[in-house]
């Protein structure tokens, strides 16, 4: 079964052999990441009804998948950080002791790949030749995962070559948890929702995911490796793994400024990362380095440098249109995979918000006939496109630079209907960490949970931090001391509503006006006024060309409700109490000074 494995890395070979003994697959396939390999798998998936080839005239090289309706999002209640101690995992992670989890997994996973092929996917997160890149190897019994990983990470023969005989890699095990009896026909989306477990072993840098085939639960390079395990590596090695997009802002003068921004899931990160500035802001341009994850370290001159470890976009489809994000639409115009969107009669995809008028007839994400007004959504709210970075028309020229890009500003943002102004600059790094640590957002469909609830999501990392969240916040202070000068930090909120319940800020391309103020602040070209919440722009500090935005609306958008802010400090305290003695002292001081500013 293991004839001619394409590696001599003994740790890798031992682990693959052990997996074969335990999972008992019918065959083992070492992936080479080639187009031919992916095409063959896709043809097989289409052949047995597990994927639909989209109309090549409309969407070349693209495929539609429909998941089991019970397997549609990340499952945070089934996601575990299996550290040696409760203190190491911290109060915001689900903890099961490593030995107990391993025993449970061994029971669950005995023979779990029977009747299936076990794929071995060597992959690299990050650009070729980058000192910041990390190698992973994923074992999976899902061909959907293989074809998706090929877009989201770099998969190729060079990964094993570069790994050599002793190189470091993160082993990632994945099974959909549905072994096949002899002669049993497979379902289109095998999964095992009752038994789903996504387990991380931070001390061992090891990941096991069982039972789900969807997104972050199954494409283990993304949230599991590039955030949860990478955050632990970052802590130990002096860098940061963040849930941040990275974009470049080009001024008409040609000056380039990179910005990294953290937003909780489904707050429009992909739209912001690919923003198209209004034509009236002549000559301003935005380029994309990444839309979800940033790995950041100090560069040789003490500057902050970042890479996007991913090779693709796994974007939320609904709401994406040529109006809201033409670059994302172009990115998924070919060579892309779609999951849980609707199928049009002419073999293309559709989702809510793609066009103002829905088509007269569709097949919905569950495979049923759909007509406008039938009362059901055509696409699942967390339906996705998986598209290669290289398809993106606004991809930054340095997106794959092995040295990364220099980051000049950091943004934190949440989805807040009330109380938080459009933009504020933190007084300094310490205040910036406070703003990030107390980030809150109203819930969306990217994970299980009640839509609309406000959840505190420190640094947008609540579901993605692989260790004690308070120690992670402490790490931000330690990290900044290694920089020549920590970058300025900003807080943004595109989602504030007025008394009439309508959004006060147009958002999308007009967020360029906020970015321009941020960039002008970075370069010391524009002023700000001090407030209790932070440094705020004045109306006259914004570039208003092409937008009629009355000063009265601006005042509403930027207003501070001192009573609500006072109340918020109590919620901050509630969060901090959870962190107990791990809470960095700086954050207690920041809270005290915020309270002082509010009275």
Q: DSSP string covering 553-589, please?
A: HHHHHH---HHHHHHHHHHHHHHHHHHGGGS-HHHHH
136 vs 277, beta carbon nearer Mn ion: 136
How many Å apart are CA 494 and CA 506, to the nearest integer?
Answer: 8
> Residue 74 binds which entry of ligand OXD, Mn ion, none, with Cβ cut-offs from 5 to 8 Å by kind?
ligand OXD
Region 54-83 residues binding ligand OXD, contact defined as CB under 6 A: 74
Q: How far is the CB of 261 from Mn ion (least distance, A)?
A: 12
Q: How far is the CB of 91 from Mn ion (least distance, A)?
A: 22
Is residue 247 a contact partner of residue 273, using CB atoms and an 8 Å limit?
yes
Give the x/- contact pattern for ligand OXD in 202-241, rule: CB under 6 A. Answer: -------------xx-------------------------
> Residue 437 binds which entry of Mn ion, ligand OXD, none, with Cβ cut-offs from 5 to 8 Å by kind?
none
Binding test (CB under 5 A) with Mn ion, winner from 68, 292, 396, 457: 292
Catalytic residue (one of 267, 332, 400, 465): 267
Q: How far is the CB of 466 from Mn ion (least distance, A)?
A: 15
Residue count at the site for Mn ion (CB under 5 A)?
2
> Residue 216 binds which entry of Mn ion, ligand OXD, none, with Cβ cut-offs from 5 to 8 Å by kind?
ligand OXD
Instruction: State the DSSP H helix or E strand holding residue 363, giving kind and residue range, or none if neither.
Output: strand 362-363
Using the Cα atoms of residue 51, residue 464, residue 457 and residue 496 in order, give the sign of their dihedral.
negative
> Residue 177 binds which entry of ligand OXD, Mn ion, none, with Cβ cut-offs from 5 to 8 Å by kind?
none
Q: How far is the CB of 316 from ligand OXD (least distance, A)?
A: 7
Q: How far is the CB of 265 from Mn ion (least distance, A)?
A: 5
How many Å apart are CA 441 and CA 460, to the nearest integer?
Answer: 9
Binding test (CB under 6 A) with ligand OXD, winner from 446, 512, 515, 583: 446
- Residue 457 contacts ligand OXD per CB under 6 A: no
Is residue 226 a contact partner of residue 241, using CB atoms and an 8 Å limit?
yes
- Residue 273 contacts ligand OXD per CB under 6 A: no
Closest CA to 9 of 151, 120, 153, 131: 120
- Name 305's Cβ contacts closer than 8 Å, sequence gap at least 6: 132, 296, 297, 298, 299, 403, 404, 405, 406, 407
242 vs 590, beta carbon nearer Mn ion: 242
- Residue 310 contacts ligand OXD per CB under 6 A: no
Binding test (CB under 6 A) with ligand OXD, winner from 265, 311, 327, 340: 265
How many Å apart are CA 328 and CA 351, to the nearest integer?
Answer: 14
Instruction: State the DSSP H helix or E strand holding residue 517, giving kind and residue range, or none if neither.
Output: helix 511-522
353 vs 449, beta carbon nearer ligand OXD: 449
Q: How many CB atoms lie within 10 A of CB 148?
A: 26
Q: How far is the CB of 415 from ligand OXD (least distance, A)?
A: 13
Region 239-278 residues binding Mn ion, contact defined as CB under 5 A: 265
- Residue 242 contacts ligand OXD per CB under 6 A: no
The interface region with Mn ion, picked from 55-63, 164-172, 285-293, 357-365 by CB under 5 A, is: 285-293
Tokens 């990444």 identify what position? 290
Q: How far is the CB of 460 from ligand OXD (least distance, A)?
A: 8
Is residue 186 a contact partner of residue 48, using CB atoms and an 8 Å limit?
yes
Closest CA to 532 of 431, 422, 436, 442: 431
**Is 267 tagged catalytic?**
yes
How many Å apart are CA 268 and CA 270, to the nearest integer?
Answer: 5
How many Å apart are CA 356 and CA 359, to the nearest integer?
Answer: 10
- Residue 141 contacts ligand OXD per CB under 6 A: no
How many Å apart are CA 351 and CA 348, to the nearest integer?
Answer: 11
Closest chain position to ligand OXD (CB)? 265
The interface region with Mn ion, picked from 19-27, 255-263, 292-300, 328-336 by CB under 5 A, is: 292-300
Torsion, Cα of 362, 364, 367, 369 (10° steps)? -50
Say how many CA atoms lie within 13 Å of 27 toward its Cβ: 7
Q: How far is the CB of 470 from Mn ion (least distance, A)?
A: 22
Which residues contact ligand OXD by CB under 6 A?
74, 215-216, 265, 292, 314, 446
Which residues contact Mn ion by CB under 5 A?
265, 292
Q: Which sequence positions are flagged as catalytic?
A: 267
């Amino acid at each position: 079964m293991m004839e001619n494995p394409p590696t001599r890395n003994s740790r890798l070979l031992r682990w693959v052999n052990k997996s074969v003994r335990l999972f008992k697959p019918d065959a083992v396939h070492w992936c080479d990441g080639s187009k031919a390999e992916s095409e063959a798998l896709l043809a097989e998936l289409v052949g047995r009804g597990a994927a639909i080839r989209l109309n090549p005239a409309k969407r070349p090289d693209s495929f539609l998948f429909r998941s089991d309706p019970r397997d549609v999002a990340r499952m945070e209640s089934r996601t575990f950080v299996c550290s040696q101690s409760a203190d190491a995992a911290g109060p915001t992670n689900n903890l099961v002791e490593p030995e107990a989890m391993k025993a449970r997994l061994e029971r669950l996973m005995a023979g779990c790949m029977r009747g299936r092929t076990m794929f071995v996917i060597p992959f690299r997160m990050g650009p070729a030749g980058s000192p910041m890149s990390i190698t992973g190897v994923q074992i999976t019994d899902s061909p959907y995962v293989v074809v998706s990983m090929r877009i989201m990470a770099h998969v190729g023969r060079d990964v094993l070559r570069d790994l050599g005989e002793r190189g470091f890699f993160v082993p990632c095990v994945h099974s959909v948890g549905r072994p096949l009896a002899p002669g049993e026909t497979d379902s289109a989306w095998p999964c095992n929702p009752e038994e789903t477990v996504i387990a991380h072993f931070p001390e061992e840098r090891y990941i096991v995911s069982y039972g789900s085939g969807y997104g972050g639960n199954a494409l283990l390079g993304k949230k599991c490796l590039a955030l949860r395990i990478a955050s632990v590596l970052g802590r130990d090695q002096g860098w940061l793994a963040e849930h941040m997009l990275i974009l470049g802002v080009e001024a008409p003068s040609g000056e380039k400024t990179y910005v990294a921004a953290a937003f909780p899931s489904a707050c429009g990160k992909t739209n912001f990362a690919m923003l198209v500035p209004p034509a009236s802001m002549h000559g301003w341009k935005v380029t994309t380095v990444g839309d979800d994850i940033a790995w950041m370290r100090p560069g040789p001159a003490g500057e902050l440098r970042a890479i996007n470890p991913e090779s693709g976009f796994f974007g939320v489809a609904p709401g994406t249109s040529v109006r809201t994000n033409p670059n994302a639409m172009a990115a998924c115009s070919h060579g892309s995979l779609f999951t849980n969107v609707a199928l049009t009669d002419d073999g293309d995809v559709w989702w809510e918000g793609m066009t103002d008028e829905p088509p007269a007839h569709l097949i919905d994400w569950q495979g049923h006939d759909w007509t406008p007004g039938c009362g059901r959504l055509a696409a699942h709210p967390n339906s996705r496109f998986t598209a290669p970075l290289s398809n993106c028309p606004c991809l930054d020229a340095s997106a794959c630079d092995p040295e990364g890009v220099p980051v000049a500003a950091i943004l934190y943002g949440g989805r807040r209907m009330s109380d938080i102004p459009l933009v504020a600059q933190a007084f300094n790094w310490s205040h910036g960490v406070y703003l990030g640590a107390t980030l809150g957002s109203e819930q969306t469909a990217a994970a299980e949970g009640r839509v609309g609830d406000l959840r505190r999501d420190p640094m947008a990392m609540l579901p993605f931090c692989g260790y004690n969240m308070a120690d992670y916040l402490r790490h931000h202070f330690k990290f900044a001391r290694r920089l020549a000068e920590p970058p300025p930090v900003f807080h943004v909120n595109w989602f504030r509503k007025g008394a009439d319940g309508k959004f006060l800020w147009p958002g999308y391309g007009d967020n360029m006006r906020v970015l321009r103020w941020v960039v002008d602040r970075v370069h010391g070209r524009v002023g700000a006024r001090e407030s209790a919440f932070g440094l705020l722009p004045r109306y006259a500090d914004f570039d208003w060309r092409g937008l009629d935005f009355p000063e009265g609306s601006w005042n509403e958008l930027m207003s501070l409700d001192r009573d609500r802010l006072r109340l918020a400090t109590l919620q901050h305290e509630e969060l901090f109490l959870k962190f107990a003695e791990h809470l960095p002292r700086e954050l207690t001081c920041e809270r005290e000074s915020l309270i002082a500013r509010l009275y």
